Chains A and B, each alone.
Chain A
Amino acid sequence: MVNKLFRRDEIIKKFSDGQRIMIGGFATKGVPDKLIDALVESGVKNLSIISNDTGDPGVGQGKIVGNQQAVKYLCSHIGRNPEAGAMGLSGKMEVELCPQGTLAERIRCGGSGLGGVLVKTGLGTIIEDSSQKLEIDGESYLLATPLRADIGLVKASKADTFGNLQFHGTSRNFNPLVAMAADLVIVEAEEIVSLGTIDPDFVMTPGIFVQMILANEGE
């Protein structure tokens, strides 16, 4: 079977200016920190990032914000990163806020071939102003449209060499969703195991969704 292990320098070459990049993680946990470091090192600019949040200043996604590589963040929360807040308010970086559950569902739609889902979240709030409102059987809903990206960055606790993934605890969060919704999915795993090691019943993300896995140093 295809071996998807790649060196860091091979992964860095995949980043380019203006890409739309989706990143797993919640605050500073379950975040693909090594892949973010690689993205920061690449120095590419004008990125549109889709992610739950903007991390902490100088930590996780905060590094992308601090390095001024993003022109846009689509996320549910930036409150832990005052730097992102200041850049959003000054217009230096566009911030589009989306309720967290709606964001998760939009990403799931993007990876599942769905044209959107209808949610009640945001009815009667400013979210309604920027959404299409639909009535189904007398009930009002807002249309949540699908999201996809050029590149998805995913953190797993365990990956086999084909990219079958497992996640651990609350570090799962958006990662399995991101793994389905990007053209090129790159995984960073705490542990890389040989093919056949993970029982198929306990694979959380099937390897077909994954194109590249960051190899351990020296492999």
Chain B
Amino acid sequence: MEKPIRFRNKEGLNLAGILHLPDTPKRKVGILFVHSGVQGRHGNTNQYVTYAREFCKLGFLCLRFDPHGLGDSEGVINPMDMRDFYGSIQSGRYVVDTLTAINEFKQFGVEEIILFGLCGGSITALLTAPFVQNLKALILLSIPIMLDSSKINYDLRIPKEIAAIHIKGYLKKIYSPKYWIRLLTLKSNFSTIFSYLKALMSGNKKLSKKEPSEGVALVNSNFFEAYNIIKHNINILWIFGSNDSFWHDFKREFINHQLLLDKDELFLIEDANHMFTLTEWQAQIIEKSEQWLRKYDLARN
């Protein structure tokens, strides 16, 4: 059964959500879907709805909700540069709303919590995790490890692997007359082409963890602060798409520093993009998550 709910956040704004109630709940374990970047409780291509319906079949109570200013929840976000909005999420914009949603979820008999998030939702889940009692696990998709801001020079953080994909794409077009017409009539995006070339030639750089300042590409220190608090107590399933630049950031700043713990699992979906747009990739996410939840005896067999 699915049921719309509304509850107030700390600022007195009504937040909207959909509760998925299984016919026969196995245990009082609930999965909370923690928004999806700039999109709320549906996720890109409505994938949160699909996941919640599938997890509900396994006996989980699920709650999808919109934090303030997104979807059906109250609150207005004034127009702004998207990178600054991302940066605010990566700095904890929606942590308090997520804690409010967890409290609300507990009103429906949920005793143990799993947080599930994609992109901005996954960093919100990680940043919220240290404050959650009875947190069982985190399923984190396409998590950003970097900090976004309109003041940052993004050329400094183009992963070499992603630059190579784009340059390969440009080279493939070299025999196309249309390509040359675009180039000669100056319609091609030269700054993008040069950025990729520069990234390809200079390779992956070690990036700063200093305070934000003009032109510096930042690793998000909030990520590590939260992770260091919860890493030994909470099981984490990390999921990425191999065509996502966030995967290359994560590999460079996390995997290559041997930070992935044995108890946790990393699942890389070949060819998938950042938002797992295609249903084929979403099917893999469902299958892997179910398998992983069963491993910890969290899902019904």
Whether chain B is bound by chain A comes out as no
Residues in B lying within 8 Å of A, measured CB to CB: none
Residues in A lying within 8 Å of B, measured CB to CB: none
